[in-house]
């Protein structure tokens, strides 16, 4: 499992291990420094041989101690190493002081001075071991100026210098993935790295906000910490516990798919034959004439993701328009919320509302009917209700009225603008020191259901604290997914995956949908438009079976 720890959780793991007597802080520091150098050589094999030069900036805490170990390790391999200390040697923590003194036996530690740093020979490797986890304040001006990547231009050939950060580029808040703005100018002081080495586990800030862009290639080094047993806390197919967040990876995102297919096939065999209702019936509500495209894309995604049947409900005046575009998807006229209540029977297992539906009181009434719908004698469990777009915005003036109706089988899928309308106190501009994970957890508790906040760093949370992050960065970056209608497809995908009787935990289904949504976009490539996504899903499913 790929956990995303906060700074305080990481400190707690280290402290518990040290207090148990299993390891010393000095041993952990030695492993960290050596592991960071090994990671650098794995990324840049040409640096393995001696004869290179490194500039190591060490900070006033244990991050600086890691830097002293790295300096010693490089010197052992024949490197020339220039070491600078940002801080007072007399105030170094004990383990960092020990490694400072060990380095002193090998070479000098120079006091921090920009003129001295830029006046020396050009390094091949620039190591930022100043501030790591836990920093939440802006970088001091003198340090920010030195760490600014543009300053590499002070050396001839500066663009060839490799930049390595210990824990994170100094100044990055590893809980939020953001850079605190300068109190004087209000502008963040940006620092970045080509390689960031994290220890024991990824931290939330590596995958949130600016983290993916600033950290470059992030590699996790095992330093021998056991920590709590992750395998017991987060079995595949179950949501994470309240204390931890996890990264959405193939092992969690793919699992609902074979499990659903296998169990669905088994049910069919036990009954003697398969039937479309074994795989669920999804209802998607569409808007009026000229506004049906979003609902049709959601419906197609639901059908492509394995639902047994999908029905689009639309106003009578939009029947002809939708009939011209739909074949495998069924179509029925639905004049209003009262007609909706008469049409939706207990064989409906999933309902998607919002894409292209229109903002207003009638949409609120439809949402209320959908949330009030319960299984009857033929139903196996209450239907899932996926609310997106207009279904959310319609409650902008009275979000509490929505939250009084939502239940555990509900998924809200807002983007940042829609999220701000429903949770104004948790909006981007109001978060302060709270991370995106924190605010989505708070939103899920308030709404009493699963909340998915979309973005390059999509966060999913459920009441009680379980949370996941899907990061569309690095090799999963899909800038072409920022296209009109992509969110409508995601809503339909969630509804379709959740429709079968055998669908697993709703949180896990939502994780799988987000992963598949990104995977389809990656497979299709640049030039993607939203309606391409549903038709790319079969190729994604085939690749998973392989």
> Which one, of 419, 341, 469, 435, lies nearest residue 427 by Cα?
419
Q: What was the pLDDT predicted at 266?
A: 43
- Could you tell me where in the chain the CATH 3.40.50.10260 domains are found? 3-234
Q: What was the pLDDT predicted at 181?
A: 75
Which pair of tokens denotes residue 262? 């296998």
pLDDT in tens, 378-398: 556 789 999 999 999 999 999
- Return the C-alpha torsion angle 72, 163, 432, 202, nearest 10: -70
Encode burial over 446-475: b for 16+ CB neighbours within 10 A, e otherwise: bbbbbbbbbbbbbbbbbbebbbbbbbbbee
C-beta separation of 528 from 521 below 8 A: yes
Q: What was the pLDDT predicted at 112?
A: 93
pLDDT in tens, 436-464: 999 999 999 999 999 999 999 999 999 99
- Return the C-alpha torsion angle 34, 36, 38, 41, nearest 10: -140
Q: What was the pLDDT predicted at 323?
A: 96
Rounded CA Rg of the chain? 27
Q: Which residues, 6+ apart, have CB-to-CB distance to 521 below 8 Å? A: 478, 480, 481, 486, 528, 533, 536
Q: Give CA–CA dist 544/185, Å, rounded.
A: 50
Which pair of tokens denotes residue 452? 């998915």
Q: What's 3-234's CATH class?
A: alpha beta
Parallel, antiparallel, or unpaired: how do β-strands 410-412 and 195-199 relate?
Answer: unpaired
Which pair of tokens denotes residue 55? 């500039």
- Could you tell me where in the chain the CATH 3.40.1190.20 domains are found? 251-534
> Which one, of 289, 393, 5, lies nearest residue 174 by Cα?
5
Parallel, antiparallel, or unpaired: how do β-strands 53-58 and 125-129 relate?
Answer: parallel
Q: What was the pLDDT predicted at 209?
A: 95
Q: Give CA–CA dist 230/311, Å, rounded.
A: 41
Q: Is the dihedral of CA 439, 465, 131, 473 positive or negative?
A: negative
CA distances, 352 to each of 305, 413, 497 (Å): 14, 11, 12
Helix (H, G, I), strand (E, B) or coil at 448: coil
Q: What was the pLDDT predicted at 1?
A: 59
Encode burial over 295-327: b for 16+ CB neighbours within 10 A, e otherwise: bbbbbbbbbbbbbbbbbbbbbeebbebbeeebe
Encode burial over 528-540: b for 16+ CB neighbours within 10 A, e otherwise: bebbbbbebbeeb
Q: What angle do CA 490, 492, 496 make, to 5 degrees?
A: 115
User: In the chain, what is the straight-line distance between the N-terminal and C-terminal CA atoms, in Å?
Assistant: 22
DSSP state of 181: B
Q: Give CA–CA dist 458/450, Å, rounded.
A: 13
Q: Give CA–CA dist 121/174, Å, rounded.
A: 32
For 485, left (φ over 0), alpha (ψ -120 to 50), or beta? Answer: left
Write the secondary structure of 379-421 as one string of H (helix), E (strand) and C (coil).
CCCCCEEEECCHHHHCCCCCHHHHHCCCCCCEEECCCHHHHHH
CATH code: domain 251-534 is 3.40.1190.20
DSSP state of 192: -
> Which one, of 39, 114, 34, 41, lies nearest residue 67 by Cα?
34
pLDDT digits (tens), the chain, 546 positions:
589 999 999 999 999 999 999 999 999 999 999 999 999 999 999 999 888 999 999 999 999 999 999 999 999 999 999 999 999 999 999 999 999 999 999 999 999 998 889 888 999 999 999 998 878 888 998 999 899 998 898 899 999 999 999 999 999 999 999 998 766 665 677 899 999 999 999 999 999 999 999 999 999 999 999 865 444 444 556 777 777 899 998 877 676 664 444 444 444 444 445 678 778 999 999 999 999 999 999 999 999 998 999 999 999 999 999 999 999 999 999 999 999 999 999 889 999 999 999 999 999 999 999 999 987 665 567 899 999 999 999 999 999 999 999 999 999 999 999 999 999 999 998 888 899 999 999 999 999 999 999 999 999 999 998 999 999 999 999 999 999 999 999 999 999 999 987 777 899 999 999 999 999 999 999 999 999 999 999 999 888 765
Q: What was the pLDDT predicted at 279?
A: 84
Q: What was the pLDDT predicted at 259?
A: 45
Q: What was the pLDDT predicted at 265?
A: 43
For 237, left (φ over 0), alpha (ψ -120 to 50), or beta? Answer: left
Q: How many residues does the chain have?
A: 546
User: How far from the centroid of its chain's Cα atoms is residue 315's Cα?
Assistant: 37
Write the secondary structure of 36-86 as one string of H (helix), E (strand) and C (coil).
HHHHHHHHCHHHCCCCCEEEEEECCCHHHHHHHHHHHHHHHCCCEEEEEEC
Helix (H, G, I), strand (E, B) or coil at 22: coil
> Which one, of 149, 140, 128, lies nearest residue 40 by Cα?
128
DSSP state of 520: H
C-beta separation of 369 from 341 below 8 A: yes
How many C-beta atoms lie closer than 10 Å to residue 420's C-beta?
17
Q: What was the pLDDT predicted at 269?
A: 45
Parallel, antiparallel, or unpaired: how do β-strands 80-85 and 53-58 relate?
Answer: parallel
- Main-chain dihedrals φ then ψ at residue 103, nearest 5 degrees: -70, -35
Which pair of tokens denotes residue 311? 């029905």
Q: What was the pLDDT predicted at 227?
A: 61
């Amino acid at each position: 499992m790929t956990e995303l720890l906060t700074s305080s959780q990481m400190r707690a793991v280290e402290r518990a291990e040290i207090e148990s007597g299993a390891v010393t802080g000095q041993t952990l520091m030695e492993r960290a420094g050596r592991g960071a150098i090994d990671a650098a050589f794995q990324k840049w094999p040409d640096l393995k041989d001696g004869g290179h030069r490194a500039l190591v900036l060490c900070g006033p805490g244990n991050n600086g101690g890691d830097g002293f170990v790295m300096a010693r390790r490089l010197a052992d391999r024949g490197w020339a190493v220039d070491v600078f200390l940002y801080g007072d040697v007399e105030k170094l923590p004990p383990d960092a002081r020990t490694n400072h003194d060990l380095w002193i036996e090998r070479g000098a530690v120079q006091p921090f001075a920009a003129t001295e740093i830029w006046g020396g020979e050009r390094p091949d490797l620039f190591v930022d071991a100043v501030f790591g986890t836990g920093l939440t304040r802006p970088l001091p001006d003198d340090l920010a100026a030195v760490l600014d990547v543009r300053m590499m231009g002070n050396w001839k050939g500066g663009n060839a210098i490799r930049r390595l950060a210990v824990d994170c580029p100094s100044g990055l808040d590893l809980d939020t993935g953001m850079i605190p703005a300068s109190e004087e100018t209000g502008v963040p002081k940006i620092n970045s790295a080509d390689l960031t080495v994290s220890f024991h586990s990824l931290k939330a800030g590596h995958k949130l906000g600016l983290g993916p862009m600033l950290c470059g290639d992030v590699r996790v080094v095992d330093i021998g910490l056991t920590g709590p047993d992750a395998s017991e806390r987060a079995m595949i197919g179950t949501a994470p516990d309240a204390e931890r967040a996890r990264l959405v990876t193939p092992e969690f995102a793919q699992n609902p798919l074979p499990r659903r297919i296998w169990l669905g096939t088994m049910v069919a065999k036990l009954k003697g034959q398969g039937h479309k209702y074994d795989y669920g019936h999804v209802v998607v509500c569409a808007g009026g004439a000229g506004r049906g495209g979003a609902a049709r894309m959601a419906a197609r995604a639901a059908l492509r993701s394995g639902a047994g049947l999908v029905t689009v409900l639309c106003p009578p005046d939009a029947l002809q328009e939708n009939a011209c575009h739909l074949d495998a998807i069924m179509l029925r006229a639905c004049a209003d919320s009262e007609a909706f209540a008469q049409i939706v029977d207990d064989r409906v297992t999933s309902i998607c509302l919002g894409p292209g539906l229109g903002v207003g009181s009638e949409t609120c009434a439809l949402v209320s009917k959908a949330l009030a719908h319960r299984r009857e004698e033929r139903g196996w469990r209450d239907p899932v209700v996926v609310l997106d777009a207009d279904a959310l915005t319609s409650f902008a003036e009275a979000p509490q009225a929505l939250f009084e109706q939502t239940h555990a089988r509900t998924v809200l899928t807002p983007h940042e603008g829609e999220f701000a309308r429903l949770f104004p106190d948790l909006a981007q501009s109001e978060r302060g020191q709270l991370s995106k994970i924190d605010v989505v957890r708070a939103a899920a508790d308030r709404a009493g259901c699963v909340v998915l906040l979309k973005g390059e760093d999509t966060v999913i949370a459920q009441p009680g604290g379980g949370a996941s992050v899907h990061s569309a960065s690095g090799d999963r970056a899909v800038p072409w997914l920022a296209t009109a209608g992509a969110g409508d497809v995601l809503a339909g995908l969630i509804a379709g995956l959740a429709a079968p009787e055998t669908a697993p935990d709703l949180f896990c289904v939502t994780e799988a949908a987000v992963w598949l949504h990104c995977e389809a976009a990656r497979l299709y490539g640049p030039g993607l438009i939203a309606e391409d996504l549903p038709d790319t899903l079969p190729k994604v499913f085939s690749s998973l079976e392989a």
